Structure 1
Amino acid sequence: MTLASKSDTNNSSARLECIDIFRGLTMALMLMVNNPGNPNTIPVQLEHASWNGFTLADLVFPFFLFIMGVVVPVSINNRLAKGTGKITIIVHIFLRSIQIFLLGLVLNGFPLFDLNTIRIPGVLQRIAVVYLFSALLYLLCKSIFKKETVQMGVQLLTSVFLLLLYGVLLKVVHVPGYGQGVMELQGNLVQYIDLKLLPGHLYKPDWDPEGILSTLPALASGIIGVLAGMILIKPNKWIIKMAVFIGSGGLLLLAAALLNTVFPYNKNLWSSSYVLLTSGLGILLLAFFYLLTDRMKSGKIFKPFKAIGASAIFVYFVSELIRRTLWLIPVQDATGSTMTLKIWLTTRLISPWAHGLDSLYFSIFYVMVWLVIMGVLYHRKIYIRL
Structure 2
Amino acid sequence: MRYNTLSTNRILSIDALRGITILVMIFVNELAGIRDIPIWMKHMPADADAMSFVDMVFPSFLFIVGMSIPFAINSRLAKGDSFIQLQQHIIFRTLGLLILGFFIVNAEDGYNEDAMGMSINLWALLFFAAVIAIWKVYYTSSKMVVNSIRAISFLLLVVLAFVYKDNNGHAITPQWWGILGLIGWAYLFACIFYQLCKGNVYLLIVAIVLCTGWYIVGSITHTQDASIWHFISSQKGNAAHTSIVLCGMVVSLLFFEENKWATNQRRYIHALLFMVLLLVAGYLLSPYFGISKIYATPTWCLYSAAACTAIYAFLYWLIDRQQIQGWTSFFKPAAANPLLTYIIPDIIYYLTALLGISLFPDSLRYGLPGLLWSAFYAVAVMGIVMLLNKYKIKLQL
Q: TM-score under structure 1 normalisation?
A: 0.76
Q: Which residue of 1 aligns with 2:249?
A: 226
Residue 302 of structure 1 and its aligned partner are, at CA, apart by 3.6
Within 2, Cα distance between the matches of 1:255 and 1:370?
A: 38
Equivalent residue pairs, number = 326
Residue 383 of structure 1 and its aligned partner are, at CA, apart by 3.8
Q: 1:377 to 1:121 in 2, by over 3 A?
A: closer
Q: Which residue of 1 aligns with 2:105?
A: 108
Give SS of 1:12's match.
Answer: coil
Percent identity reads 25
Residue 91 of structure 1 and its aligned partner are, at CA, apart by 0.7
Deviations 1:231-256 (A, max 9, x none): 23211222221221122112212322
Matched, 1:264 2:290: yes
Q: Which residue of 1 aligns with 2:55?
A: 58
Within 2, Cα distance between the matches of 1:38 and 1:163?
A: 33
Q: Which residue of 2 aligns with 1:203?
A: none
Provide structure 1 residue ranges, at least 5 long, that are not aligned to the other structure: 1-9, 143-147, 181-188, 198-210, 332-340
Matched ranges for 1:152-191 at <5 A = 152-173=201-222
Residue 296 of structure 1 and its aligned partner are, at CA, apart by 0.9
Deviations 1:15-35 (A, max 9, x none): x11111111111111101111
State whether residues 26 and 378 of structure 2, in contact with CA within 8 Å, keep that contact through their aligned partners in structure 1: yes
Matched, 1:216 2:242: no
Q: Which residue of 1 aligns with 2:90?
A: 93
Deviations 1:57-111 (A, max 9, x none): 1000011001101100011111212222222111100011101111111212333
Q: Which residue of 2 aligns with 1:71?
A: 68
Give SS of 2:59's match.
Answer: helix
Give SS of 1:135's match.
Answer: helix
Moved more, 212-221 or 33-42: 33-42
Within 2, Cα distance between the matches of 1:245 and 1:106?
A: 38
Within 1, Cα distance between the matches of 2:16 and 2:55?
A: 19
State whether residues 41 and 358 of structure 1, in contact with CA within 8 Å, keep that contact through their aligned partners in structure 2: no
Q: Which residue of 1 aligns with 2:138?
A: none
Q: 1:42 to 1:309 in 2, by over 3 A?
A: farther
Q: TM-score under structure 2 normalisation?
A: 0.74
Deviations 1:320-349 (A, max 9, x none): 333345268655xxxxxxxxx2552x63xx
Q: 1:135 to 1:259 in 2, by over 3 A?
A: same
Q: Which residue of 2 aligns with 1:134?
A: 190
Give SS of 2:45's match.
Answer: coil
Q: 1:118 to 1:343 in 2, by over 3 A?
A: farther
Higher helix share: 2
Q: Which residue of 1 aligns with 2:301?
A: 275
State whether residues 7 and 71 of structure 2, in contact with CA within 8 Å, keep that contact through their aligned partners in structure 1: no
Q: Which residue of 1 aligns with 2:111?
A: none
Give SS of 2:197's match.
Answer: helix
State whether residues 107 and 317 of structure 1, in contact with CA within 8 Å, keep that contact through their aligned partners in structure 2: no
Within 1, Cα distance between the matches of 2:265 and 2:300?
A: 28
Residue 379 of structure 1 and its aligned partner are, at CA, apart by 6.2
Q: Which residue of 1 aligns with 2:322?
A: 296
Within 2, Cα distance between the matches of 1:175 and 1:223?
A: 25
Residue 359 of structure 1 and its aligned partner are, at CA, apart by 1.7
Q: 1:167 to 1:382 in 2, by over 3 A?
A: same
Within 1, Cα distance between the matches of 2:32 and 2:370?
A: 4
Within 2, Cα distance between the matches of 1:264 and 1:83?
A: 46
Residue 262 of structure 1 and its aligned partner are, at CA, apart by 2.3
Within 2, Cα distance between the matches of 1:122 and 1:382?
A: 24
Matched, 1:368 2:382: no
Q: 1:329 to 1:257 in 2, by over 3 A?
A: farther
Counterpart of 1:30, as a letter, is M
Give SS of 2:395's match.
Answer: strand
